[in-house]
Amino acid sequence: QVQLVESGGGVVQPGRSLRLSCAASGFAFNTYAMHWVRQAPGEGLEWVAAISYDAAYKYYADSVKGRFTISRDNSKNTLYLQMDSLRIEDTAVYYCAGSLDYWGQGTLVTVSS
Amino acid sequence: IVLTQTPLSSPVTLGQPASISCRSSQSLVHSDGNTYLSWLHQRPGQPPRVLLYKVSKRFSGVPDRFSGSGAGTDFTLRISRVEAEDVGVYYCMQARQFPHSFGQGTKLEIK
């Protein structure tokens, strides 16, 4: 069955970096566009970034543009999110999603001094 | 694109119908002819799961008590008979263009 497992979350100070990973299985990862969506504590869903199946196209929310970088390794069935210059308002559960149809369980990122 | 959901909270009686509206600030009809409006459900402590995509197509395993309708900028999710497992927050989402966006969410609770 389809599985998306995020990892790499944790507590980090403002201004520092963190890299999230999402390991995919159970579907043809190299044919799916992939997304990152986040949810701040007690809040709604916010789309963060997307990457085409072949990594040719990448899109970002204005709130993370220039600070976050989405990438993928189709040979490893893995999606990444490099998060630099983290801010307190980046605190959220980060979900990876395959074509926004399949969702992982999420990984919590807490930005705090 | 801004998506506005109403109501934001909906207390319903078990076995009764429920409906949620989603209005878009722009048409969600893509140049390919498809309308990229989806509905998602999130139970407390769980990730979201897709119920409907392209307005009215049910995702695999979704009960037929869930239905979607609408066109252009106005869309509706209907639950024909609410069951206890339907509690949680419902979101509409547009994938018509980047950046993708979600509605604010509608909390469905049992009276």
Minimal Cα–Cα distance from A9 to chain B, Å? 16
- Tell me: the pLDDT tens digits for A1-48? 999 999 999 999 999 999 999 999 999 999 999 999 999 999 999 999
pLDDT at A100 over 90: no
Please report the pLDDT score of residue A45 as a whole number. 98
The pLDDT of A89-112, averaged and rounded, is: 96
A41-67 pLDDT per residue, tens? 999 999 999 999 999 999 999 999 999
- Partner residue opposite A61 with nearest CB, options B93, B99, B105: B99
What is the predicted pLDDT for the residue at A36?
Answer: 98
A52 contact residues in B (CB cutoff 8 A)? none
Q: Classify residue B95 by burial, with Cβ atoms within 10 Å: 0-12, 13-18, 19+.
A: buried
What residues of chain B score a pLDDT lower than 70? none
Strand runs labelled E in chain A: 3-7, 10-12, 18-25, 34-39, 45-51, 58-60, 68-73, 78-83, 92-98, 102-103, 107-111
Does residue B78 contact residue B19 with C-beta atoms inside 8 Å?
yes
Question: Can you spell out the DSSP letters for chain B?
Answer: --EEEE-SEEEE-TTS-EEEEEEESS--B-TTS-B-EEEEEE-TTS--EEEEETTTEEPTT--TTEEEEEETTEEEEEESS--GGG-EEEEEEE-SSSSPEE---EEEEE-
List the single residue in B with minimal CA-CA distance to A6: B47
Give percent above pLDDT 90 in chain B: 99
DSSP state of A31: G
Tell me the chain B residues in contact with residue A101 when contact means C-beta distances shorter than 8 Å. 50, 53, 59
Nearest CA in chain B to A96: B47
Contact yes or no for A90/A12 (Cβ under 8 A): no
**Which string of DSSP letters, residue by residue, matches A74-93?**
TTTTEEEEEE-S--GGG-EE
- Which of A16, A1, A4, A3 shows the shortest CA–CA distance to A112? A16
Q: How far apart are CA A56 and CA A30, in angstroms?
A: 12
- Using the Cβ of A23 and the Cβ atoms of chain B, whether some distance falls under 8 Å is answered with no
- Mapped onto helix, strand or coil, the DSSP state of residue A30 is helix
Q: Is B88 on the interface with A (CB under 8 A)?
A: no
Contact assignment for B93 to A45 by CB distance below 8 Å: yes
